[in-house]
Structure 1
Amino acid sequence: MKLYEHMETYLGLISRGWAEKNKKYGIQVVLFEQNPAEDLSTYCTLGLDKFVLDIGDGKKIRQELIFSTYKTYPPDEVASFLMTFAESVADSGKGLLRGEVIEGKPLIDGVEVTGMYASVPVFWPDELHEFEGSSPTTIFVWLLPILKSEAEVIREEGWNYFEHYLEEHSEADLWDLDRDAIPLR
C-alpha cells in the first residue's frame, strides 16, 4: 500500500492538492473534506515522509502532518501555511514530539492562533496514526492550533496537563482559528 492510499483508507478520498512551486522539497498538501466532521476540512502533508527525522536518543522516524479547521477558512492559505510548516520540519531534520509547542505569527492572515501543538491524531481512526509501509515507520502528527497564552501554560505545566484538561473540558473548539483562549487555569 502506498502512503496516499493509507491516508484515503482512513480519511476518505483526496479532494484537492497543492504542490510547491520550486520543488525543492517535493512536499505537497492534500485536502480531505468533511473530515472529521461535516463542517471541517482536514489537510495533510504528503511527501514530508521522504525525510528521515531525528527524535532523540538515536531514534529516527518519518512524519506527515495533519491539520483540521472549519471549511470557512481559505483553503489556499491553510495549505500554504501547512506546506511552509512542513518545509521547516524538513529543514530542521528533527521530528515533532508529542507535546511540542511551536510558536510564531498568525497561521493565516487575520486569525488569532499563533502556534501549533503536536499531538496524536485522536479524532481519526487509530490505524491512521502509523504507516508501516516505510522504513522507518511514518508517524502522523496532529497539529492543534493554539494561542500564545495556551503555549505559555503548556510550557509551564507540561503537555500532560494540557491534554488532560482538553479531555475533561470538551467545550474547547479546537477547529476555530479565531477562538478565545482555553481557560487552562
Structure 2
Amino acid sequence: MRDFIYFLEEHLGNVLYGWSTGHTGKKLPFQVAKYSDGPFLGTSTYTTIGLSDHLLKSTDGKEIRQELVIVSYTNFGDENIPGILQQVGMFLLKDHQALLRGDVVGPYGSLFKGSKLEALYASIPVYFPESFEIYDGGDVPIVMTWLIPIMASEVQFVRTDGWEAFENRLEEVDPDLVDYRRSSVLLEG
C-alpha cells in the first residue's frame, strides 16, 4: 500500500486530510483523501484509497481493482465530494461490480447546492498524465476512474447516443469539467 500512496502523491501532491467514516459515523472499508494538487492551478483532487483492496467484476467477468477520482476547484471546498465518493464506493462493493468507462451513476438530484449536475460519468482521468491511469504495482493493476459530474440531459445523451458520442461532444465543446456550475455540453433547443 505504501507504494500506491507514493504513486498517488507523486501525481496529486501530498495528502492533506481524509475521511474513513461515513455520515453516520460508521467506519467504511476504504478511505477518501484530499490532495494538495489538482491537474492544474487552483484545483484539488480527491480519491478513494482502499477500494482497490476489493476485486470488482467488469461486464466480461474479468476482475479489476479500482479507485475513484474527483477533481474540483480548491475554492469550491469539500462540500459533498467525500460523501459522493463514499456512496459510489459502497455502491460498487455491494455487488462487487466495477465502474467502467462510459458508465453513469444517477441521476439522483442535485449533487451540489446551486448546481444542475445530478449524476456521475465514469471516464479515464484525461486531465492528468497518462501515467496516472493505471497503477501496475500489484497482482492486479489498479484502474483510476475519474467521476465527472454531469446533468440529467447529458445522462440521457449517454444512454441514447453512447459514451463515445458523449466523449466526442466533450472534445468538441471542451467544457470546464471542474466547474460544478457549468452549462450543458448539449445544444439546448
Same fold (TM over 0.5): yes
Amino acid at match of 1:182: V
Q: Is the 8 A contact 1:49 1:62 kept in 2?
A: yes
Residue number in structure 2 paired with 1:127: 131
Name the structure, 1 or 2, with higher relative contact order (CA <8 Å, separation 6+): 1
Q: Please report how far the alpha carbon of residue 108 of structure 1 lies from its aligned counterpart in structure 2 after TM superposition.
A: 3.4
Q: Which residue of 1 aligns with 2:158?
A: 154
> TM-score scaled to structure 1, two decimals?
0.91
For the residue of structure 1 that corresponds to 2:76, the secondary structure is coil
For 2:94 and 2:111, how far apart are their aligned partners in 1? Answer: 19
Give distance in 2, aligned partners of 1:144 and 1:99. 10
Query: Which whole-Å CA distance do the structure 1 matches of 2:165 and 2:7 have between them?
Result: 32
Identity of aligned residues (%): 32
Task: Specify the code of the residue in structure 2 equivalent to 1:102.
Answer: V
Residue 176 of structure 2 is matched in structure 1 by: 173
CA distance in 2, matches of 1:92, 1:177: 29
Deviations 1:52-97 (A, max 9, x none): 0000222000100010112232315311221122111111210011
Residue deviations 1:117-175, cap 9 Å, x none? Answer: 100111111111111222221100011110000110111111111111211222x1211
Is residue 54 of structure 2 the alignment partner of residue 48 of structure 1?
A: no
Match of 1:143 in 2: 147
User: In structure 2, what is the equivalent of residue 62 of structure 1?
Assistant: 65
- Distance apart, 1:24 and its partner CA: 4.1
Q: 2:115 aligns with which of 92, 111, 115?
A: 111
Q: Name which of structure 1's ranges 131-140 and 112-121 shifts more when overlaid on structure 2.
A: 131-140
1:71 aligns with 2:74: yes
State how far apart, in whole Å, the 2-side matches of 1:92 and 1:109 are. Answer: 30
What is the aligned partner in structure 1 of residue 94 from structure 2? Answer: 91
Q: Deviations over 1:9-60 (max 9, x none)?
A: 11121122111142242x1111123411222111111010111000022200
Give the gaps of 5 or more residues in structure 1. Answer: none
Partner residue, 2:3: 2
TM-score (norm 2): 0.89
Inter-partner Cα distance in structure 2 for 1:41 and 1:28: 17
- Which amino acid in 2 is paired with 1:28? Q
- State the SS of the aligned residue for 2:75: coil
RMSD value, Cα: 1.7
**In 2, distance between residues paired with 1:122 and 1:56?**
23
Match 2:83 to one of 57, 80, 84: 80
Would the aligned equivalents of 2:57 and 2:96 in 1 still touch at CA under 8 Å?
A: yes
1:18 aligned partner, one-letter code? W
Q: Which amino acid aligns with 1:181?
A: S
Gaps of 5+ in 2: none
Offset of 1:109 from its aligned partner? 3.9
